[in-house]
């Protein structure tokens, strides 16, 4: 602890006929010294090794780069089995955006952080490859009128591998909330992000799940004679394009 001591030759003797040495100017100078010393001491006690930052110095975080669904947004495929044959439904409408801590380049191995993913697939955009007969049954099972979209929102992501000459994609382990038919569940995904030279990104993932995990009853047809299996595979190939870069934080 530093000790600061200030002395003054100023002496004031009050009262009628009293004498003074230094007078009011001396007293004012003494007060200035005392106040200055107190401020210096307070600063030393708070942080003896601190260095003052210049007024107005900005505090910024690295810029984030935002991507959003391109005009050709890719496709989402859901495939399964039934007592009659295998089936697939397909959507070519994926809405949403993704954010990264910096720009992604196909020829760069720089480490980036996947900060956000929010995407949705409208339920009524899912169409059966077997014809429209299955669509209405599927929409009823997914509770289309109450919950018109299937959504995923990222909670966190860890970079597994950065691009290499042999593999130009970023590979992430991601965890988020997947919501189907109004039922929200924590869900883990392996997410591959492939940057292209024209600024586009391809984000892809594939996962197996059960319809019953989300309270969805596997559809049936022909008065129950044809029954869908509970297990399905979901494969998403999502195309995104660069949006404006925004400051990471100044909140």
What does the pLDDT read at residue 14? 42
- Rounded Cα gap, residues 80 and 229, in angstroms: 7
Q: Output Rg (C-alpha) for the chain, integer angstroms.
A: 33
User: Which residue is it, tokens 């210096």?
Assistant: 40
Phi and psi of 46, rounded to 5°? -65, -45
What does the pLDDT read at residue 245? 41
Residue 119 has pLDDT above 60, yes or no: yes
Please state, as a whole number, how many other Cβ atoms lie within 10 Å of the Cβ of residue 195: 24
User: Which has the higher per-residue pLDDT, 4 or 77?
Assistant: 77
User: Which residue is it, tokens 């930052």?
Assistant: 53
User: Which has the higher per-residue pLDDT, 98 or 162?
Assistant: 98
Residue 128 has pLDDT above 80, yes or no: yes
What does the pLDDT read at residue 243? 79
pLDDT tens for 51-75 read 333 333 333 335 678 999 999 999 9
| pLDDT tier for residue 137 given thresholds of 50, 70 and 90 | confident
Q: Where are the domains of the chain?
A: 11-46, 64-246
What does the pLDDT read at residue 220? 76
pLDDT tens for 8-29 read 333 333 444 444 444 434 433 4
Q: Which CATH architecture has domain 64-246?
A: Beta Barrel (2.40)
Contacts of 55 (CB under 8 A, 6+ apart): none
List residues bridging with 128 in a β-sheet.
89
CA-closest candidate to residue 80, choices 128, 131, 120: 128
Task: Name the pTM for this structure.
Answer: 0.70
Q: Quick check: helix, strand or coil at residue 106?
A: coil
Q: ∠101-163-239 over CA atoms, to 5°? A: 65
- Rounded Cα gap, residues 22 and 34, in angstroms: 16
């Amino acid at each position: 602890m530093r000790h600061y001591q200030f002395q003054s030759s100023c002496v004031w003797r009050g009262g009628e006929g009293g004498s003074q040495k230094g007078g009011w100017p001396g007293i004012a100078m003494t007060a200035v010294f005392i106040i200055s010393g107190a401020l210096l001491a307070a600063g030393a006690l708070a942080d003896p090794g601190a260095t003052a930052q210049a007024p107005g110095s900005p505090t910024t975080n690295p810029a984030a780069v935002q991507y959003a669904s391109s005009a050709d947004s890719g496709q989402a495929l859901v495939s399964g089995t039934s007592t009659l044959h295998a089936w697939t439904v397909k959507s070519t409408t994926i809405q949403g955006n993704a954010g990264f801590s910096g720009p992604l380049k196909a020829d760069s191995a720089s480490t980036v952080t996947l900060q956000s993913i929010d995407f949705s697939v409208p339920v009524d955009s899912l169409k059966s490859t077997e014809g429209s007969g299955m669509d209405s049954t599927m929409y009823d099972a997914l509770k289309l009128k109450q919950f018109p979209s299937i959504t995923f929102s990222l909670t966190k992501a860890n970079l597994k591998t950065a691009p290499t000459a042999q593999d130009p994609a970023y590979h992430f382990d991601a965890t988020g909330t997947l919501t189907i038919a109004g039922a929200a569940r924590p869900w883990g995904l392996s997410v591959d992000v492939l940057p292209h030279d024209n600024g586009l990104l391809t984000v892809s993932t594939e996962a197996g799940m059960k319809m019953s995990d989300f309270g969805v009853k596997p559809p049936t047809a022909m008065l129950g004679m044809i029954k869908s299996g509970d297990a399905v595979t979901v494969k998403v190939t999502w195309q995104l394009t660069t949006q404006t870069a925004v400051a990471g934080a100044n909140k």
